[in-house]
Copies of this chain bind each other. A is one copy, B any other.
Amino acid sequence: MADVARLAGVSHQTVSRVINGSERVAPATRDRVQAAMRLLDYRPNSMARALVTGRSRTVGVIGFNTTLFGPASTLYGIEGSAHEAEYLTSVVSMPEVNRDSVLLAVERLRRHNVEGVLLLASESSAIAALAPVSRELPLVALEAEPIHGIPTVTIDQYGGAVSATRHLLELGHRRIAHIAGPAGSLEAQLRLAGCRDTLAEAGHRLPAGTGFGDWSAGSGYEICVRLLEQDPDVTAIFVANDQMALGALRALDEAGRRVPADVSIVGFDAVPESGFFTPPLTTIHQDFVAIGRRGFEALRDRIENGDGPATHQVLEFELLVRASTGPPPAGA
């Protein structure tokens, strides 16, 4: 910076003014300074600036299964939004969700002076762990429970589950099972609750022993195999995400049950591949990227304008009816 100032024949402060786009600089001077900056390939040192302003213009993201389509897409949305606002995104991916790992992640981010943190985890334990932190550091939780005064952005998981279940009821199904996500996950709980409540309203109930998977195709497969043994009369299964639904599809195929002629399947998430499953999967679409964008905006608002009351944004979902659902077999 001193070099630039010297070359342009001004003081370092004037250079600083040019960098920061201050009004109080004569156009001629501004041009001279900019020319000097270009000539010297000068790049302001963000660390020095951050030190004096106390602002790092960096936000942290804490994620877990970031290799999954959902979180990866949300991260993409966050990054896109952050980019536009000239923030940098720092990611911490933990292999497992628990109190300690969340605290470790946030500590790591704080040490690097992030200005705020986005939590990408629906485990209520993760949010609970961060509740005290949120008083010192702006925090927004995505796909999370609106508790502890932490702002959240989610889609209407419960509503999506209701919609999926209604779809099956409307097709005439009566014996409907659910393959749930991890028991500790709020999303999984809401999807289960939405399904159960909707069935109850219609005078039906979930078969006993709903299995809790881990979102993976493998777990969906295993749970479905068990389900078919325990309850061969099931004519429809609402599966808590598309990957597990794929596993269920595989299990049904191996069991010789046709989809949707014998059993209908509904998934959740609408991953891009789901339209190419055999058969193409009926599922609930949620806009992960939008969640990320909204999440970042909410965080930025808290960073720049301080704590207001915590907002809880709920985005819309969409039922995508494809070929994996149809009326139950005549005999059922």
Number of interface residues of A (CB under 8 A): 53
Interface string of A69-85 (1 = CB under 8 A from B): 10011011001100100
A110 at interface, CB cutoff 8 A: yes
Instruction: Check if A93 sits within 8 Å of B76, measured CB to CB.
Output: yes
A230 at interface, CB cutoff 8 A: no
Partner of A275, one of B46, B91, B217: B217
A92–B78 Cα distance when bound, in Å, is 10
Q: Which of A47-55, A120-128, A176-184, A194-202 contacts B (4 or more CB under 8 A)?
A: A47-55
Instruction: Check if B221 sits within 8 Å of A276, measured CB to CB.
Output: yes
A216–B275 Cα distance when bound, in Å, is 11
Interface residues of A in 81-125 (CB under 8 A from B): 83, 88-93, 95, 108-113
A272 at interface, CB cutoff 8 A: yes
Instruction: Check if B56 sits within 8 Å of A67, measured CB to CB.
Output: no
Q: Which of A48, A88, A111, A272 has the most CB of B within 10 A?
A: A88
Identity of the chain B residue whose Cβ is nearest the Cβ of A94 in the assembled complex = B83
CB distance from A60 to the nearest CB of B (A): 9
Q: Which of A28-36, A245-253, A301-309, A311-319 contacts B (4 or more CB under 8 A)?
A: A245-253
CB distance from A121 to the nearest CB of B (A): 15
CB distance from A143 to the nearest CB of B (A): 16
Instruction: Check if A56 sits within 8 Å of B47, measured CB to CB.
Output: yes
CB-CB under 8 A from A146, the residues of chain B are none
CB-CB under 8 A from A112, the residues of chain B are 46, 57-58, 88
Instruction: Check if A113 sits within 8 Å of B46, measured CB to CB.
Output: yes
A217–B69 Cα distance when bound, in Å, is 14
A22 at interface, CB cutoff 8 A: no
CB-CB under 8 A from A276, the residues of chain B are 217-218, 220-221, 246-247, 249-250
Partner of A79, one of B48, B92, B216: B92
A45 at interface, CB cutoff 8 A: yes
A68–B249 Cα distance when bound, in Å, is 22
Partner of A273, one of B57, B75, B80, B273: B273
Identity of the chain B residue whose Cβ is nearest the Cβ of A253 in the assembled complex = B278
A280 at interface, CB cutoff 8 A: yes
CB distance from A1 to the nearest CB of B (A): 13
CB-CB under 8 A from A235, the residues of chain B are none
CB distance from A255 to the nearest CB of B (A): 13
Instruction: Check if A83 sits within 8 Å of B92, measured CB to CB.
Output: yes
Residues of A that sit less than 8 Å from B by CB: 43-48, 50-51, 56-58, 66-69, 72-73, 75-76, 79-80, 83, 88-93, 95, 108-113, 216-218, 220-221, 243, 246-247, 249-250, 253, 272-273, 275-278, 280
- Contacts A83-B108, A221-B276, A250-B276 supplied; 4 other A-B pairs, CB < 8 Å: A43-B110, A68-B72, A217-B273, A249-B276
